[in-house]
Amino acid sequence: MAFSNAPQYSTYQQKRIPFYGDMDSRQNAYSYTTDMLFQNVYSESVVNSLTGEKDLYIRRRPGVVAQEPLGGVGPVRGSLSWETSIFYVQADTLYERVITGGSIPRGIINSSAGPVGMCMVPYQGDNGALHLIISDGTQLWKYRLSGGIFEEFYAGYPSPHIPQPISIDGYIVLALSGTDEIWNTQLSDWTAPWDFISTEMYPDLIQGLNRYNNYIMVLGQESIEMFYNAGIETGSPFARNESTVITIGCTAYRSAVQTDRHFYWVGTTQEGGRSVWTMVDFKAEEIATPFIKRCLDQEPTANNILGAAVRVKGRHWYLLYTTNHTFAYDIDEKKWAVWTLGSGSSPFGYYITGDNGVQGTTFLFGNNYLLNLNPAVGTDAFSDWIYCRWQTNLLDFETMNRKFLHRLSLVGNANNIATISVAWTDDDYQTWSPPRLIPMSSSRPAIVNCGYFRQRGFRFEYYGEPDLRMQAMELTYNVGVN
């Protein structure tokens, strides 16, 4: 160890580097080997009851557990949860999965591919009986929950339409494709002609519909308008709330997701370029990092971009599916990470195609199975261990002089984890050192004799059943004179 001329004084320094942070990379959408990386881990802040300050950690994302086979074969086109059931369409068949397990076919629609939208509506013309409305963009069907009656909807509905039916105050609302028109049923007579109203504040074509509180949210190419039930007796009962218009369009209607209090979507402004936005109390806020924006801009078509909201044991994420990536935005921490399968960079391939929260459990679909997220397991169904990787930016400690790294220590909860591997790069992420294992069973998990560098980035990896909760790394180093 190096000492000053007065031997009692060591010239070594210690610096603690928190792992908590936000994923970002200078690279394009198809690579994220440089700069800050959080792969299959997420950031978490916990208030320390003794100091009142926040302790910052990273944790492993939830694993995926297979529940049961689905009723059919092929991708799930759309789904909706209601009380203890999940309704989903697979190929041309509507299934109901009941709490006791097993999927029951409930009806056949006339198409077998493409997205399907659903909503639940009480029909005043049938003593308030609940009906599941199913849309494939061309035709409309209804399924009466009591009695199990499945049939095509009465003639007169708009077609082709965007397959996003919504229910508000007992009305069924659809958007006519390629227009600025939103159409609605009559309250007590679904056989009567539909009414419509146009969005006129901007010369927009409607991209999709959604619910925001008790408003109809009309997603246009360049704007978002809100309509409410004004009780108008002649024509459409809905009126525009002019004070809530937002001049940010929606380029991917399947990315639009309503959570408890927030609304998330992929949109563009008049300046161009895709980004991710959230809305709270009718105010829009951009949440995408530059890297996320680059990934979205390189998508060949916005139809490939999907969004979903998941909640697992107190954690709440907005998942953003693209062709090559699955990004997870932590709604509470406001941080981005990437979720992958196995040891590579394959996207997290389990999809949520609608509202699938039943009795506090978030369900997904994949490999013709119904699955659910489980934070207690370290594997993904039909895949491999969850490979956790986190990587730092280049560190130089405010000088380009050589740094001699004596010790690298890890700070966190071991949770019976055997080892965590670390590698480093001294040439701007072009090459990496051979991985070294840090034994987590030690009272001070550390490795020594880590060489010298001017700028260094670190990459940590872990997989296994015990959960991961790491706080920081602590570096003991000495600074050279040149």
pLDDT of residue 155: 93
For residue range 86-131, list pLDDT tens digits in order: 999 999 999 999 877 789 999 999 999 999 999 999 999 999 999 9
Above 70 in pLDDT, residue 195?
yes
Give the pLDDT confidence score for residue 357 in this predicted structure. Answer: 65
Q: Hey, which CATH number is domain 76-348, 2.120.10.80, 3.40.640.10, 1.20.1050.90, 2.60.120.10? A: 2.120.10.80
Strand order in the sheet with 354-355: 103-108, 93-97, 85-90, 76-82, 354-355
Question: What residue segments make up the domains of the chain, in order of their start?
Answer: 13-61+389-479, 76-348
Asked whether residue 165 carries a pLDDT value surpassing 70, the answer given is yes
| pLDDT reported for residue 480 | 87
pLDDT at 238: 95
The answer on pLDDT for 4 being more than 90 is no
The reported pLDDT for the residue numbered 6 is 53
Q: What percent of the chain has pLDDT over 70?
A: 96
pLDDT exceeds 90 at position 287: yes
| Fold that domain 13-61+389-479 belongs to in CATH | Jelly Rolls (2.60.120)
Mean pLDDT for 382-402 is 93
pLDDT value, residue 335:
94
Position with higher pLDDT, 5 vs 231: 231
pLDDT tens-digit readout, 196-247: 999 877 778 999 999 888 899 999 988 899 999 999 988 899 999 988 888 8
Query: Looking at the whole model, is its pTM more than 0.85?
Result: yes
- Longest pairwise C-alpha distance within the chain: 95
pLDDT for the residue 9: 60
